Every structure is written in structure tokens, then in C-alpha cells.
Amino acid sequence: MEGFFQALAAGLLIGAVYGLMCVGLGLIFGVMRVINFAHGDFMMLGMYVAFYLFTAAGIQTLFGNTVGPFVAILLAGPVLAVFGYFVHLALISHVSGTRTASLEGEGHYAQLILTLGIALILQNGGLIVFGSVLASIRTPLSSTAWELGPYFDMSIFLNKARSIDAIVSLAIMTLLSLLIARTRIGKSLRAAADNPTAATYMGIDVDRAHRTAFALGCGITAIAGGLLATNYPFHPFVGLEYVIVMYAGVVLGGMGSIIGAFWGGMTIGLVQQMSTLILPTQLQNAAIFAVFLLIIFFRPQGFFGRMVERT
């Protein structure tokens, strides 16, 4: 019983970060309908940016080992957002948006190859620049825990770093939800996603809306990556491990739904942690996809997906 609650707590904490990671991709897919296979590698870049900001850019000396990593991780967001902005401007915009709106498949084939190409370049470039040694953003919090309880003779231990990761994820998720729901920028992003042609009639620059979504999506996933890096060591090919989880989360939540992507990621985190109760660790990822298939079997549109035709 204690093991169950412990796994539940661990699943919720990691799920919140997975949720944020999926939201970054979900935002890009939801607004642009671009299949971005390089998103895991954008996250890897975010991890390294946070790592170097912390160790080499003086944040460690300025803020110390406890607060410093989180400052670096939050700063990696804007850095990757700027990077994503220019990747869209220089590359993605040529195979998406108004340029390909009238093509068969809306340019999806070209997007597939282009983003796979970007992924390869980032992975191999990362190998040259960062090397193959495992890196991690360790804080003293990573190896300490808060004890909840004992309640009914049970204690649950919450890893301090993971707990703060989850809180940061939820805070960013809340800010993003407010941005999307309330602000002019958020509403115009949703309008551009709903009907790009009609959005143009309203005077919304759809390509610019896409660029905003792409930059935001990269920044958000970079922060999620940095948060993961406080507990999991990483390397230049780490994106491959996560991009599939990201897509599973986005599909589970419902393609196009941003809040859905969060719950999709949360579900994956929970399944991953809970499965360790009954399955050997090696089967964690298999368990994720078994549950994924099961949910999609009964609810093909995902949790928040709507069965509507795009106009």
C-alpha cells in the first residue's frame, strides 16, 4: 500500500513535468499542424543551455547550488524560444503555413524530412560540441526528500528537486493557459489554428502567429527539459527518448488541445511510475504504450480532442 502511494506521488510529480514537455509540442502542433520530429532535440538543447548557464555563465556563483539551477532552467526557456523563432524563420516557414496551404498534404512530407534533418544535425552537432559524457544539473535538492506523514503508519517521501520541478511546471502551465485563453495574442493563435484563411481576413498574419507558437513551444519544452535534468542525466541523443513520449502525450490529450497535451503527459508520467509496482523497470516504456493503445482504442480523439471537421 505504501508502495502504491509512493509510486502515485512520484507519478504525479514526474507527470507534471512530462505534461509541460508535451504542452510545448502540443502548442506547435495545435497552432501550425506541423509534425516536428526535432522537438526532443530542441529539448536536449534546452538542457545543455540550462547546464552551461548554470555552470559556465556565473549563475552558480551568483545564486548558489540550490536556487541557481532553477534560475538557469527558467532562463533556458527564452534562449530556446529565440532559437526556435529563427529556426522557423529560416527553415520551417518554407514548408508550412501560407506557403504550403494549397499543396497536397499541406507540406507535411517536406516537414517530416526537414524536422528529421534538423533532429540529426542537432544530435550530431551536439555530440561534437557537448561530447558524449553524461551531464546533469544536480542540486543538493536532487538527493533529499520531504517526508509526508506518517499517516496511518505510512510515510511518503517527496524528492525535493522533483517537487519543485512539478511546482514550476504547474506555474508555467497556468501562465500559458492564461496567455492562450485571455490575451489578444492567445486568441489570435487560436483563431489562426481554427481557420488560417479566415484569420488572414481578420488581419492576422498567420505566418507570424505560427512563428510565435513555434518559439513559445520550444521555450516551454526547453524549461521542461531543464527540470527533468535535475534528476535525470542527459546526453546529445536524449531527445530520441523523449520525443516519442511527447507525441504519445499529445495524441493522448487530443491533437490540437493544449490543455489536453498536459493531461496526456501527466498520464504517461503516472503510468510509467505506477507500472514499476508490477512490472520490471525495463518494461516501463512498453507499459506506456500498452496504456496508450488502450485509451486510443476507446477514445480515438484523445481526452480533449473534438470530432470536428476543420473548416
Partner 1 sequence: MLRIEGLSAGYSAKPVLNDVSINVGAGQFVAIVGPNGAGKTTLFKTISGIVKPSGGAISFDGVDLLAVPPPQRAHLGIAHVPEGRQVFPSLTVMENLEMGAMTESGRRDWQANIERIFEWLPVLKERRNQFAGTMSGGQQQMLAIGRGLASSPKLLMLDEPSMGLAPSTADFIFERLIEIRRQSGLTMLLVEQRVAEALESADHGYVLEAGHVVLEGNNDTLRADDRVRKAYLGM
Residues that bind partner 1 (CB under 8 A): 98, 102, 184, 187-188, 190-191, 193-195, 197-206, 306, 308, 311
- Spatial CB neighbours of 245, under 8 Å, sequence gap ≥ 6: 18, 21, 22, 265, 268, 288
Nearest-approach distance from CB 217 to partner 1, in angstroms: 18
Nearest-approach distance from CB 257 to partner 1, in angstroms: 9
Q: Using the minimum distance from each CB to partner 1, give the nearer residue, 93 or 169.
A: 93
CA–CA gap between residue 23 and residue 27 (Å, rounded): 6
Q: Using the minimum distance from each CB to partner 1, give the nearer residue, 30 or 249.
A: 30
Nearest-approach distance from CB 100 to partner 1, in angstroms: 14
Asked whether 93 and 111 are in contact (CB, 8 A), the reply is no
User: What is each CA distance from 205 to 97, 180, 202, 218, in whole angstroms?
Assistant: 10, 17, 9, 20
Q: Using the minimum distance from each CB to partner 1, give the nearer residue, 65 or 197.
A: 197
Asked whether 303 and 263 are in contact (CB, 8 A), the reply is yes
Asked whether 140 and 236 are in contact (CB, 8 A), the reply is no
Single-letter code of the amino acid located at 113: I
CA–CA gap between residue 47 and residue 228 (Å, rounded): 8
Nearest-approach distance from CB 211 to partner 1, in angstroms: 13
Quickly count: other Cβ atoms within 10 Å of residue 29's Cβ: 26
Report residue 41 as a C-alpha cell.
Answer: 532535440
CA–CA gap between residue 68 and residue 50 (Å, rounded): 10
Q: Using the minimum distance from each CB to partner 1, give the nearer residue, 102 or 281.
A: 102
User: What is each CA distance from 145 to 5, 142, 192, 262, 284, in whole angstroms?
Assistant: 15, 8, 45, 25, 23
Nearest-approach distance from CB 11 to partner 1, in angstroms: 30
Nearest-approach distance from CB 251 to partner 1, in angstroms: 18
Q: Using the minimum distance from each CB to partner 1, give the nearer residue, 32 or 74.
A: 32
Cα distance between the two ends of the chain? 50
Nearest-approach distance from CB 93 to partner 1, in angstroms: 14
By the 10 Å C-beta count (0-12 exposed, 13-18 middle, 19+ buried), 307 is classed as: exposed
Q: Using the minimum distance from each CB to partner 1, give the nearer residue, 154 or 191.
A: 191
Asked whether 258 and 26 are in contact (CB, 8 A), the reply is yes
Q: Using the minimum distance from each CB to partner 1, give the nearer residue, 43 or 189.
A: 189
Q: Using the minimum distance from each CB to partner 1, give the nearer residue, 108 or 187.
A: 187
Nearest-approach distance from CB 45 to partner 1, in angstroms: 31
Nearest-approach distance from CB 29 to partner 1, in angstroms: 15
Q: Using the minimum distance from each CB to partner 1, give the nearer residue, 194 or 241.
A: 194
Among 211, 151, 164, which Cα is nearest to 185's? 211
